[in-house]
Chain A
Amino acid sequence: MTRSAEVVIVGGGVNGLACAYNLAKRGMKDIVVLEKGYLGTGATGRCGAGIRQLWGMEENIILAREAVKIFENLDAELGFNTFFRQGGYLMLIFDEHEYETVTKTIPLQNRLGVPTVLMSPEEIRDFIPGLSTDGVLAGAFCQTDGTAYPYAVLWGYGEAARRLGVDIRVMTTVTSVASRVGGGFEIVTTDGTYHAPRLINVAGARTRDIGAMLGIDIPTEPYCHEIAVTESLKAFLKPMIISPKKGFYFSQSLRGEIIGGVGDENKESSYATASSPDFLFRFAKVLRDTFPKLGKARIIRQWAGLYDMSPDSRPILGTVDGLDGYYHACGFSGHGFMLSPIVARLLTELITSGTTSIPIDNLSLARFKSKTLTRDPYVVG
C-alpha cells in the first residue's frame, strides 16, 4: 500500500521527534516518523545525558546556549517532566596547553552570555568535597549547564507530537529511498511505501546509509562509545565532571547513580556496540582516581552506543544542492542529544520559511569540499 505524507522523518530518536513536534506546531500536517526499533533505540537512549555550553568555537557555544534556553522551558512546553536540571559542568584542566586554551574560551563564552568562571584547585576542593585535584591546574565551571533524562525528552517530544497528529511508526525499517520523477521521494519500508515532497534524514549513525540511497556522500563514521553506571548513592555531586584531555565525563543522576564514560583513542570505526571489560577497567580507574571514596561503590550496568563522527566533529545540518525537499541533521559526534531542541527548531525554520534564525551555512555538507576544517577543542568521550 502506498501512503502519502507531507514530510517523512527517518529516525525516531530525539532529533526526529523534536523535528516532528516543531513542524506540527508550525501547522504542518501529515507528518510521519519512521523508526526501525523502539523510540530511542539508537544514540538518544544510550547517551550520557549531558547538556553543556562549555565549547571552544563561537558557533558551538551559540547553538548550545540556544538549546539550553529551550531546555529551561521544555517541561512546560511539552507537558512532560524531562528531569532537566542545571547542576553545572565542571571541566578539569590538566596541562598548560589546556590552561592556555581555557583562558581564551572563557572570555569568549562570557561575551556570548555563557556564565563560565575559572576555578583554582582549592576552590574546586571547597566546591566539591572529596574530588581529587591531583594534577589539576584549574577548572572551568558553568552553572547553567546540566543534564536531562534523554528518554524523557524523547517521550515528551513524542507525546506532544502525537497530540498534534504526527504519525509515529516504530518497528518499521526503511529499505529504500529514491527521488521521484517530478519531485519528492518514495520511501519503501517493511510496512508499506510512502510518497512525500519532503524527507528529513535524522537516522543517527545510519544517516549516511539513507543518504547513500539518494546518492549523497555523507562522510560520517560510527564509533562505539561505552558508558557505565553505579548503584544509587546519597546525593553528593551536582555538576557533570568532564576532562577533554583524559576523555572522561560523569555525573550523578537524580536516582543517585554515578553515570559516565571514558573514550578510547585507539578505537576503530565500527557499527558494533559491545560492552567491554577494557572499558570497565578504565572507567573504574577514572572514578577512583577522581573520587577516591567511590572505590567502595559498585558498578551495576554498562552499555554501548554509537557516536556519529563527522570529519571535524561538528554537526552536519541543512539541505543538499540539487535535491529539493531533502534535509538532514547528523554527524553530531557525541552531542546530538544536547543540541536537539535547537537543531529541530532550525530545521523547522529552514523547511517552513527557507531561512534560519541562526546561520547554519558553516554546518553544511558542502564544507567538506574545503581542505581546512576547524575542530572544537572540547569534543569529549
Chain B
Amino acid sequence: MSKTILCHCEDVEVEELYSALKQGYGDIETLKRYTGIGTGKCQGKCCFIQTLRLLDALKSEGENGRPAFAGDVTSIHVPTLRPPVLPLRIDDIVDCDEEGT
C-alpha cells in the first residue's frame, strides 16, 4: 500500500493521523502534539490545511473503514500559531538585539 505524507517536516503519514483518531486523540491541538504534525521547520504552513481538509471529510461518518471524526472537538480550527513567523537564527536574534540597544 502506498503511503501519503501529511507533514513533510516531521515525516508524518496520513495513516498516522487516522490511527491517532482511532485511539481517541480527537481534537486538533492534541493531534498536533500526538502525531507531531506542524511542529517542524515549516510550523504547519504545509500540513495544517491538509489536516483540516481530511478532518472535515471525516467529520460526519467514516469512509473506507477509516474512523469517523467523533473525537472531543467542538470545532475544526487551526492550532494556535506561535512566533516566530519564520525560523530565526540565534546569531541574528542576538545581534539584532544588541544593535537595537
**Chain A positions near chain B (C-beta within 8 angstroms):** 38-41, 45, 151, 155, 170-171, 230-232, 255, 275, 277, 280-281, 284-285, 287-288, 294-303
A45→B27 CA distance, assembly (Å): 15
- Min CB–CB distance A47 → chain B (angstroms): 13
A189→B52 CA distance, assembly (Å): 29
Asked whether B43 lies within 8 Å of A300 as measured between CB atoms, the reply is yes
23 pairs, CB–CB < 8 Å, chain A vs chain B: A38-B29, A38-B72, A155-B25, A230-B90, A231-B40, A275-B82, A275-B83, A277-B83, A284-B93, A285-B97, A287-B90, A288-B94, A295-B94, A296-B89, A296-B91, A297-B90, A298-B87, A299-B84, A300-B41, A300-B43, A300-B87, A301-B43, A302-B84
A275→B84 CA distance, assembly (Å): 9
Asked whether B39 lies within 8 Å of A301 as measured between CB atoms, the reply is yes
Interface residues of B in 19-67 (CB under 8 A from A): 25, 27, 29-30, 33-34, 36, 39-41, 43
Given A45-B33, A151-B33, are A299 and B82 also a contact pair (CB < 8 Å)?
A: no
A280→B29 CA distance, assembly (Å): 23
Question: 7 closest pairs, A vs B, by CB?
Answer: A298-B87, A295-B91, A284-B93, A281-B97, A300-B87, A284-B90, A170-B72
Q: Which residues of A contact B87 (CB under 8 A)?
A: 231, 298-300
Partner of B90, one of A38, A151, A170, A295: A295
A303→B29 CA distance, assembly (Å): 14
Q: Which residues of B contact A45 (CB under 8 A)?
A: 33
**Chain B positions near chain A (C-beta within 8 angstroms):** 25, 27, 29-30, 33-34, 36, 39-41, 43, 72, 74, 82-84, 87-91, 93-94, 96-97
Q: Which residues of A contact B88 (CB under 8 A)?
A: 280, 298-299
Asked whether B43 lies within 8 Å of A151 as measured between CB atoms, the reply is no
Main secondary structure of the interface of A (DSSP, over half): mixed
Asked whether B30 lies within 8 Å of A231 as measured between CB atoms, the reply is no
A170→B90 CA distance, assembly (Å): 38
A303→B82 CA distance, assembly (Å): 7
- Min CB–CB distance A190 → chain B (angstroms): 11
A284→B93 CA distance, assembly (Å): 7
Given A38-B27, A275-B82, A281-B97, are A299 and B72 also a contact pair (CB < 8 Å)?
A: no
Asked whether A299 lies within 8 Å of B93 as measured between CB atoms, the reply is yes
A284→B90 CA distance, assembly (Å): 5
Find the B residue at minimum CB distance from A301.
B82
A18→B39 CA distance, assembly (Å): 26
A171→B26 CA distance, assembly (Å): 12
Find the A residue at minimum CB distance from B41.
A231
A230→B41 CA distance, assembly (Å): 9
- Min CB–CB distance B95 → chain A (angstroms): 9
Asked whether B30 lies within 8 Å of A39 as measured between CB atoms, the reply is yes
Find the A residue at minimum CB distance from B39.
A301
A277→B97 CA distance, assembly (Å): 10
Most buried by B among A155, A275, A284, A287: A284
Partner of A297, one of B25, B33, B89: B89
- Min CB–CB distance A170 → chain B (angstroms): 5
Most buried by A among B29, B30, B74: B30
- Min CB–CB distance B46 → chain A (angstroms): 14
A295→B34 CA distance, assembly (Å): 30
Most buried by A among B27, B83, B91, B96: B83
